[in-house]
Amino acid sequence: MKIGFAGLGAMGMGIVPRLLAAGHTVTGWNRTKSKAEPLFKLGMRWADSPREIAAGSEVVFSIVTDAAAVRSVALGDNGIIAGLRADAVYLDMSTIAPDASRAVSAEFAKAGLTMLDAPISGSPVTLAQGKASIMVGGDRAAFERVQPALLAIGANATYIGDSGLAVQMKLAINLVLMVEVIAFCEGVALAEKGGVAREVAVDAMLKSVAASPVLGYRGPFILEGKMPEVPLADVDLQQKDMTLVLELARKMSVPAPLAAAANEMMNACRGLGLGHHDFVIAHEAYRRLGGMSK
């Protein structure tokens, strides 16, 4: 397939090589062209605007930070909507509010075009392992047409339902992931305060029934010297998702007390000057609040 890709951040930089390796032709765009240099060496082509990548593509992806960035990339004179062909499909992989995704999709529908919400569940680690999963909302026939591209990105591509429901499902998954990681941090800090060596506590957790894929690769980050310089998802990014979860829960009158608690730990991390780290740094916040030395 001829594929366009807008947004070459950490996830985009991992997705494009997989599409290229599967034999697809990829034309990319990013606000900062220099960040895309490694992808040129792999064969990615360049376009000067989202409109330009859309004009020559059968399938167009975007993955950007928030709803404002999605609107900027998707709509407007130089947006994807201005270049997308009637027989092409646009998929936004960003994690944004379901209503925001539906609003953008409605603009494409008015123009006789097809947009799907297709958030990806995973990190750069799981993406590189081929274990990321993609959820899709919108027209089912369009989903089936683009499945080959989706399965080049990750092991699973699941149709969720109508427009916006895939993003809603992604937020629900991120709620579970967030609470799980924060509970791990809390549990290790509790064991540590009682006298268990941190490396012993982490090892025991990862060998227990509480273990999971996300804890398997993220848990060891809290060991001495193991925190990555470039976070997989820093405190601010992860808190953005929790804010979306809490707002969605408020709108639907659904209690989300564990999401609220996890969000408060992100506030604690920022208050302690730890916000630039991967969000598993919550373990250090628990240590400090529990009176343990830095």
pLDDT digits (tens, 9 = 90+) for 66-93: 999 999 999 988 999 999 999 999 999 9
Distance, in Å, from the CA atom of 219 to the CA atom of 226, rounded to the nearest integer, reads 10
Fold of 169-289: N-(1-d-carboxylethyl)-l-norvaline Dehydrogenase; domain 2 (1.10.1040)
Domain boundaries, the chain: 2-162, 169-289
What is the pLDDT, as a whole number, of residue 257? 98
CB 133 within 8 A of CB 155: yes
What is the architecture of the domain spanning 2-162? 3-Layer(aba) Sandwich (3.40)
Average pLDDT in the 271-287 region?
97
Q: Is residue 294 over pLDDT 70? A: no
Looking at the chain, which runs of residues are DSSP E strands? 2-6, 25-29, 45-46, 59-62, 89-92, 114-117, 120-121, 133-137, 156-161
124-144: average pLDDT: 94
- Residue 135: is its pLDDT beyond 70? yes
Rg (Cα) of the chain, in Å, rounded? 20
Q: Checking DSSP bridges between strand 59-62 and strand 25-29, what pairing results, if any?
A: unpaired
Residue 293 has pLDDT above 80, yes or no: no
What pLDDT is stored for residue 244 in this prediction? 97
Torsion, CA 241, CA 243, CA 247, CA 248, rounded to 10:
20
| pTM score of the predicted model | 0.93
* Structure token pair of residue 267: 């506030």
Give CA–CA dist 131/177, Å, rounded.
Answer: 16
The pLDDT, as a whole number, for residue 83 is 97
| Mean pLDDT across the chain | 96
CB proximity list for 144: less than 8 A, separation 6 or greater: none
Residue 96, Cα to own-chain centre: how many angstroms?
A: 10
pLDDT over threshold 70, residue 112: yes
190-246: pLDDT as tens digits: 999 999 999 999 999 999 999 999 999 999 999 999 999 999 999 999 999 999 999
Task: Decide if 2-162 and 169-289 have a common fold.
Answer: no
The confidence score (pLDDT) of residue 36 equals 92
